[in-house]
Amino acid sequence: MKIESSNVENIFTSIAEKYDILNTVLTLNIDSIWRKKAIDISNIENNSKVLDLCCGTGKMVYYECKKVGKDAEVIGLDFNEAMLDTGYKHLNKSINDYKYKLIKGDVQALPFSDHSFDCVTIAFGLRNIVNKTKALSEIYRVLKPGGKAVCLELSTPQLPIFKQIYGLYFNNILPVIGYLGTGSKNAYSYLRDSVNNFMTKPELRYMFKATGFYDANYKSLSAGIASIHYGTKPMIKKSNNITIT
């Protein structure tokens, strides 16, 4: 099922207020563990300049602020105003003494200069972007040389028996729970379909490599329910036989 980007925005608007609590219930709070693992892989340090894309309600921004400290600003970007408003409400209550900014924007045309960030993260958002190749190219562009891109995304388990059991839950039970929790018939049916139609882990690794990232790889989480993809922007680029550092 293909859904237009405007309809995707309407879906997220309809569930913005209940998005975090329902995700916690549906994943038994495992999504928080996944996010922390992604932060660990990102190698974010104190005072790192970090951008989180498809930031939604700001859960990654929260963890990243804790990691970089109170003197560094973390920027979150999302296309949905309702999710950003909800994010500000949550962050203002939990980490109002940290520096963060949530802005509305398009991942396919980032409003930042080249070589601006030490790390760019995107959690559960890449599959919602129409032009994924363009999105990765933009991530690559705004990263500093040596900077790291980290993508946390849902994926399909490969273990035969577990795959069948999880498939029954994910394809049939989860959309019903999502509907009961949010009142939206489309939201969690869209989640199911977007994950099922998303590229495989090896395909996404290849896309990272094709974009220019080196050491591109992935780490499966929770028997393959989710995965962390990552890659580093090279420190040295060769152009017309001239080495640029």
- Confidence check: pLDDT of 31 > 70: yes
The domain total for the chain is 1
Residue 185 domain-assigned (yes or no): no
Residue 194 domain-assigned (yes or no): no
Q: How confident is the model at residue 2 (pLDDT cuts 50, 70, 90)?
A: very low
Residue 66 domain-assigned (yes or no): yes
Residue 144 domain-assigned (yes or no): yes
Q: Which residue has the higher pLDDT, 148 or 15?
A: 148
- Confidence check: pLDDT of 210 > 90: yes
Residue 96: predicted pLDDT: 94
Residues 226-241: what's their mean pLDDT? 81
- Confidence check: pLDDT of 198 > 80: yes
Residue 165 domain-assigned (yes or no): no
- Confidence check: pLDDT of 70 > 90: yes
Residue 36 domain-assigned (yes or no): yes
Residue 238: predicted pLDDT: 52
Number of other residues whose CB lies within 10 A of the CB of residue 131? 12
Residue 6: predicted pLDDT: 54
Residues 103-130: what's their mean pLDDT? 97
| C-alpha count within 13 angstroms, C-beta hemisphere, residue 15 | 25
Residues 82-106: what's their mean pLDDT? 96
On whether the CB atoms of residues 102 and 61 are closer than 8 A, the answer is yes
Residue 93 domain-assigned (yes or no): yes
Whole-angstrom distance, CA of residue 176 vs CA of residue 207: 33
Q: Is residue 198 classed as helix, strand or coil in its secondary structure? A: coil
CATH number at 32 reads 3.40.50.150
Residues 137-148: what's their mean pLDDT? 98
Per mean pLDDT, which range of 49-53, 206-210, 237-241 is the poorest? 237-241
Residue 191 domain-assigned (yes or no): no
Which residues make beta-bridge pairs with 148? 119, 232
Residue 237: predicted pLDDT: 56
- Confidence check: pLDDT of 245 > 60: no
- Confidence check: pLDDT of 138 > 80: yes
Write out the residue range of the structural domain in which residue 41 sits: 5-157+199-236
Whole-angstrom distance, CA of residue 50 vs CA of residue 207: 22
Share of the chain above pLDDT 90, in %: 67
Per mean pLDDT, which range of 1-5, 83-87, 156-160 is the poorest? 1-5
Residue 28: predicted pLDDT: 75
- Confidence check: pLDDT of 25 > 80: no
- Tell me how long the chain is: 245
- Confidence check: pLDDT of 241 > 60: no
The mean pLDDT of the chain is: 89
